[in-house]
Amino acid sequence: MWQNIIFLVYLYFCKTIVYSKIITPDDPSTLQSAIISANQEEGLDSVTLAPGIYRIPFNSHPNANILLTNLRNFVINANNVTFLMLDNRKRGIVFYNCYNVTMRGVMTIRNDIIPFSQGYIESIDQKSFVINIHDGYPTTLDNTIYFPKASTYYIFDRNTRRLKDQTYDYYNRNIIRIDQRRFRVMFDNNLGQEIVIGDLVSMRGSGDFGIICDICELMQFIDINIEFAGGFAWFETGGKGNNRYERISAQPGPKPLGATEEPLMSANADGFHSAGVSHGPTIINSFFTRMPDDGIAIHGEYQMIRQINQNVIICMRRWAGIPYAIGDRAAVVGEDGIPRGEARVQQLRTLPDDYLSSIDSPWPHFQNNHYYFELELDTNLNGTISSNDFISNIESTGSGYVLKENVILNHRARGMLLKAHDGLIESNLINGSSISGLVMQPEFWWGEGNYAERVIIRNNTLIRCGYATTGSWTQQAGVLTIYGTGTSSVAYGHHTITIENNFFIDNDGVQMVLDGLKNVLIKRNYFTNAQHKVNNRGSDHGIDGGALVHINRAQSLTLEDNRAWCLGAAHSKPLQVTYLSTQIIGMLDGIIVDNHC
Ligand SMILES: *[C@@H]1O[C@H](CO)[C@@H](O)[C@H](O)[C@H]1NC(C)=O
Ligand SMILES: *[C@@H]1O[C@H](CO)[C@@H](O)[C@H](O)[C@H]1NC(C)=O
Ligand SMILES: *[C@@H]1O[C@H](CO)[C@@H](O)[C@H](O)[C@H]1NC(C)=O
Ligand SMILES: *[C@@H]1O[C@H](CO)[C@@H](O)[C@H](O)[C@H]1NC(C)=O
Ligand SMILES: *[C@@H]1O[C@H](CO)[C@@H](O)[C@H](O)[C@H]1NC(C)=O
């Protein structure tokens, strides 16, 4: 029993007595109850986990390896501690309804068995390829406990070991085992010329988050590494938030036993994901690499307005529950992209499931929704808003975030995908994000809002982004993209943004795309070694991949002292401004191109 191995330690600290206890790796199955009882029964201020490897065994909980509920004002010291999760399908550590808990390492949380796999392409036959699994990596691709039958495959360059240039996401339909380590992976369409025999391959497996903070506040994570996460490595959702993450990471773990090849991936989804949190995260000095999705994503949620009756509106939601409290501010945006206004919530009421019939929405998030609720607002928006508009709790979109001095390296999708207000993005290094380095855009497709307001983007370095899993169809074409939504020519939803002192290095295609915004200062940004190769990201939307900066649907933008040098043959012009832009200052001299290196 853990009681036998606990020592009460009395530490005198700042004149207050701090009570702590020590937990050792000997009986990891009692770890969860030991931590909870230290905080809730023994009234201790902290626990210290003795250095070592804690092999966290299978348990009977449906989705958590370790579940820490209702912890308050507590510190978990875990220096030189590794948690090996033997069950790789569950959430690693779940903090639920916790307040002011610090977890401090250096600590590593790792799935003992990698929840995905990798190998190389041995042969290609039109709509399928044969993957030969690398020594030591999982060979359970046809076992639906560990891998969905239909997954997403990614192609890696065998020399650089990054996502291969100009490859895409490949959604397979089926998979058939050939022998112990070889599988035929089948797709709906013919595979393109961009894939060749010998390319490296990885894919998403099943699994869940590394660490999740669910309705928590003032959490702190310091020096915590998550390796081989089964879903997002880091996830925070709901609650007041204002959580702080310092020197955290999402990264691959060591090569598995018997392997000669280094791991290609670190997780099955994003590095860090914040959804529907009141006060956004502070993430400092952290490291995210080799995810098959975004580095850091922060957003709120849209529901769809179905009926309006004066100041009472009926909303449809994908999930049960009402994501508003009385007094919260709700923001409405039309499907055309125009912000319709804001109002405070005065009353709320749950309505029966399937209260209205579902609608045929073009946005997957709003198809087959069953949940309804009613909001009484302090303003009569009748006449201003209409059914099919989107509504969001602007106070739980992750606003107030700070992202400083982080490194995001070689992964699929966007380095940062930010949909919140009052943000500071400073001194980050984003190198090798396949779609884009930094994107701000509401996405109805996923039901994710909101527009960005009052954000500073300063002294970041964006290197070699936009090289794979993207194409002519994307709106998120710029290495830095701020994009509106909808089709209205005056949907200036984003506003009051400063883009200053950022360095764009070694990027092909368009460097900055600015759309759906007003009051923006673009000052002293530097573009170097750009546009050596043609890259037509965004061309379906009229974006010139040879322009440094593309501006559309904009009002009141200032370009000042931006400079470019060492541009390649694919460069066409410094600035592409469409007729939907007004009050643009610095059209002629806001970006100076030096033709020399
Ligand atoms: C960390 O713990 C390991 C045992 O798991 C031990 O061998 C090593 O010396 C420890 N390192 C430090 C810096 O405490
Ligand atoms: C957080 O908890 C610590 C003890 O771990 C305590 O000293 C501090 O006052 C608490 N802070 C807040 C804001 O409650
Ligand atoms: C709401 O506004 C519309 C048009 O703006 C008007 O026709 C309708 O009567 C109003 N409904 C109510 C209940 O006020
Ligand atoms: C700019 O960012 C780099 C890290 O990318 C950092 O070393 C440097 O101190 C920052 N400069 C300023 C003025 O903040
Ligand atoms: C960017 O990443 C590439 C490839 O991983 C690496 O060679 C290069 O040194 C990195 N640049 C910086 C400034 O980190």
Residue pLDDT, tens place only, 544-563:
999 999 999 999 999 999 99
Contact 140, 149 (CB under 8 A): no
Ranges in the chain annotated CATH 2.40.10: 118-203
> Can you give the pLDDT at residue 455?
98
Strand spans (E) along 312-406: 312-317, 329-333, 339-351, 371-377, 390-393, 402-404
> Can you give the pLDDT at residue 356?
97
Output the CA 80–ligand 1 centroid distance in Å: 6
Mutate to test the pocket of ligand 2, among 48, 73, 102 (most ligand atoms within 8 A of CB): 73
Ranges in the chain annotated CATH 2.40.30.10: 300-396
Distance CA 418, CA 444 (A): 14
Residue with tokens 């501690």: 81
What sign results for the dihedral spanned by CA atoms 529, 533, 534, 538?
negative
Instruction: Please tell me the least confidently modeled range out of 18-32, 79-93, 129-143, 494-508.
Output: 18-32
Residue with tokens 């939907």: 580
Contact 339, 329 (CB under 8 A): no
Q: For the chain, what percent of residues have pLDDT higher than 90?
A: 95
Mutate to test the pocket of ligand 4, among 287, 429, 456, 459 (most ligand atoms within 8 A of CB): 459
Residue pLDDT, tens place only, 8-45:
333 334 445 557 899 999 989 999 999 999 999 999 99
Q: Which candidate, 175, 228, 187, places its Cα nearest to that of 206?
A: 228
Count of beta carbons in the 10 Å neighbourhood of residue 8: 10
Q: Of all protein residues, whose CA lies closest to atom 4 belonging to ligand 1?
A: 52
Output the CA 77–ligand 1 centroid distance in Å: 15
Residue pLDDT, tens place only, 298-320:
999 999 999 999 999 999 999 99
Q: Is the pLDDT of residue 176 over 70?
A: yes
What sign results for the dihedral spanned by CA atoms 52, 55, 59, 61?
positive
- CATH T-level topology, domain 300-396: Elongation Factor Tu (Ef-tu); domain 3 (2.40.30)
Ranges in the chain annotated CATH 2.160.20.10: 2-113+208-289
Joined together, the tokens standing for residue 143 give 């076992």
How buried is 386 (Cβ within 10 angstroms: 0-12 exposed, 13-18 middle, 19+ buried)?
Answer: middle
Ligand 5: which residues within 6 Å by Cβ? 410, 431-432, 463
Q: Is the CB of 488 under 6 A from ligand 4?
A: no
How buried is 311 (Cβ within 10 angstroms: 0-12 exposed, 13-18 middle, 19+ buried)?
Answer: middle
Architecture category of domain 2-113+208-289 in CATH: 3 Solenoid (2.160)
Give the number of the ligand closest to the Cα of residue 101.
2
Q: Is the pLDDT of residue 407 over 50?
A: yes
Mutate to test the pocket of ligand 1, among 24, 54, 79, 80 (most ligand atoms within 8 A of CB): 80
pLDDT tier, 1 (very low <50, low <70, confident <90, very high otherwise)? very low
Residue pLDDT, tens place only, 374-393:
999 999 987 899 999 999 99
Length of the chain: 597
Residues linked to residue 176 through DSSP beta bridges, in sequence order = 184
Atom of ligand 5 nearest to the CA of 407: 14
Q: What is the mean pLDDT of the chain?
A: 96
> Can you give the pLDDT at residue 8?
38
Output the CA 468–ligand 3 centroid distance in Å: 49
pTM (two decimals): 0.95
Atom of ligand 1 nearest to the CA of 82: 5
Output the CA 45–ligand 2 centroid distance in Å: 9
Contact 128, 121 (CB under 8 A): no
Pick the CATH number of 118-203 from 3.30.390, 1.10.1740, 2.40.10, 3.40.1440: 2.40.10
DSSP code per residue over 510-564? -SEEEEEEEEEEEES-EEES--SS---TTGGGT--TTEEEEEEEEEEEEEESEEE
In angstroms and rounded to an integer, the radius of gyration of the C-alpha atoms of the chain is 25
Q: Which helix (H) or strand (E) holds 38?
A: helix 31-40
Atom of ligand 2 nearest to the CA of 45: 5
> Can you give the pLDDT at residue 538?
98
Q: What mean pLDDT do residues 326-349 have?
A: 97
Q: Is the CB of 407 under 6 A from ligand 4?
A: no
